[in-house]
Structure 1
Amino acid sequence: MRQIIGNSQILIILFLLLVSCEIKSAENHDVKTPFMERIKNKYPNANIGVDDSGMYWLSFWGQRDSLDNWFHYVEDKEDSINKISFRYYDKISTEISHLKKFKKLETLIINECNLKEIPSFIFKFQSLENLNLKFNNISVIPKEINKLDKLIHLKLSSNHIKKIPKEIGDITSLVEFTISYNLIEELPNEISNLKNLEGLSLSNNPELKKLP
């Protein structure tokens, strides 16, 4: 009898915890703050929200909104933003230098922005877990990429990259590495050091003749 009562109590506690988490998640999705309203007023087509940890995430779309003076509207929250996404900004290079001030970034997405190189300040993001730079004009992966020692997802598809530096093998946290639709000629042997790697996309690299 005691065992049955004990099991029932455990089930009730687990149920209450689950309900509490769902309520908290729903509250975060529905929350509206003055900061969020400020962004939506300036950039009507931007997406902004709050995650379960209370941090903001932002997504800007260049086909719909201008990026002029974007940092002016977010700089007071630079320590409260952990995800930023930019899509379809042909002149992004003149605007992204402000990103260096966002020390708590965990996710950075810059897609279809005519980015020609990976900015060096990105390698100082100590909390970065997701880096997505697909559909740009990047030709080089700097060896400093290994400074991103918490990186889990690295997406560089549809660029003009010819070489993967051997330092990529130092990022043992990597789970996903996507570099399809590039000009890769060979893979460094050090890529075998990525013991946690679950997904490696190499398709449509016409110059790649063999694997290590």
Structure 2
Amino acid sequence: MGYDKKCVMTKILCFYLSLLGVQCSSTFICENYSDCQALLKFKSAIASDPDGHLQAWNEANPFCNWTGVTCHEHVANRVIALELANMRLQGSLSPFLSNLSLLTNLSLPGNAFHGEIPASFGELSELVHLNLTENKLQGIIPASLQGCQRLKFMYLDVNHLTGIPEEIGLMKNLTHFSITYNIFTSSIPSFLSNLTELTRLELSFNYFRGKIPPELGALKKLEILYFHVNYLEGSIPSALSNCTALREISLIDNRLSGEIPFEWGSKLQNLQKVYLSINKFSGKIW
């Protein structure tokens, strides 16, 4: 039985190249790679790509070379980052992105993704950075995200999100939590005080009501606290003076009243910027 010696040698060469993490385009078949299939399913959920950013996302090109895709340096054909910022993409977020099991960075800001954040994203156990800012996402932040125990940065600003599940308080490694410009209408959840690694907490431009939870005084590493433009009432809890790392506080345009906690003057030694206008405060500022 005859065979093509050149073809056999090419396949052998490609095999050894694959051991080094190099894709061989002459034998690249997407269905052989779970990460490639996940990316194509993500693309199939996109209804509009007006600038053609994903045109090269096809089986003629190894997927590690696709726009916005970064693969692992030492583990062949495994995606670690998907970054597609400000590309005017429209569609829903594919739940199959959860099959990118080594993904550490999912950054899709400045697009027009709609619908809910897939619950399956909670399976991304290696995820460190999640940025879905400035889309059209709606519904409750999925409770399943507690499965992303390595997550440090969560940016969900400028969407239509409405709820924060209690499970978010279990994300012990979270350092940045920003959900500005959404339509949250509840009180500020006290369980956010469980996020003891937080350095930045931004809840501005929402419809949060009620009092500022005194439990937030447990956030010893908090540096930035932005609660401006909400419907917060009552006085500032003196417990916030326990957040000794605070550098900036903004409570502008709420319905807060009472005196500024005297303890701020002695305990918040790192405080550089304080914004309190458009409230009903009384008394002296230390």
TM-score norm. by structure 2 comes to 0.52
Equivalent positions of 1:49-198 (< 5 A) are: 49=70, 56-60=80-84, 64-65=88-89, 78-87=100-109, 88-93=111-116, 96-111=118-133, 112-161=135-184, 162-185=186-209, 186-198=211-223
Equivalent positions of 1:11-50 (< 5 A) are: 41-42=56-57, 46-49=67-70
Which of 236, 239, 248 is residue 211 of structure 1 equivalent to? 236
Q: Is the 8 A contact 1:46 1:65 kept in 2?
A: no
Q: Which moved more, 1:185-194 or 1:63-72?
A: 63-72
Q: Which moved more, 1:95-104 or 1:123-132?
A: 95-104
In the other structure, the counterpart of 1:29 is none
* Alpha-carbon distance between aligned partners in 2 of 1:69 and 1:197, rounded to the nearest angstrom: 31
* Alpha-carbon distance between aligned partners in 2 of 1:116 and 1:208, rounded to the nearest angstrom: 25
| CA offset digits 1:6-49 (Å, max 9, x no partner) | xxxxxxxxxxxxxxxxxxxxxxxxxx97879x885229995233
Between Structure 1 and Structure 2, the one with more strand by share is 2
Number of equivalent positions: 178
Between Structure 1 and Structure 2, the one with more helix by share is 1
Superposition RMSD in Å: 3.4
Q: Is the 8 A contact 1:82 1:107 kept in 2?
A: yes
Q: Which amino acid aligns with 1:179?
A: L
Q: Is the 8 A contact 1:141 1:164 kept in 2?
A: no
Q: Which amino acid aligns with 1:57?
A: A
TM-score norm. by structure 1 comes to 0.68
| CA offset digits 1:85-104 (Å, max 9, x no partner) | 233234242x7344233211
Tell me by how many angstroms 1:138 deviates: 2.0
| Uncovered stretches (5+) of structure 1, i.e. residues with no partner | 1-31
* Alpha-carbon distance between aligned partners in 1 of 2:125 and 2:202, rounded to the nearest angstrom: 25
* Alpha-carbon distance between aligned partners in 2 of 1:151 and 1:171, rounded to the nearest angstrom: 7
- Find the structure with the greater CA-based Rg: 2
Other structure's SS at 2:208 match: coil
Other structure's SS at 1:190 match: helix
For CA contacts below 8 A with separation 6 or more, give which structure has more relative contact order: 1
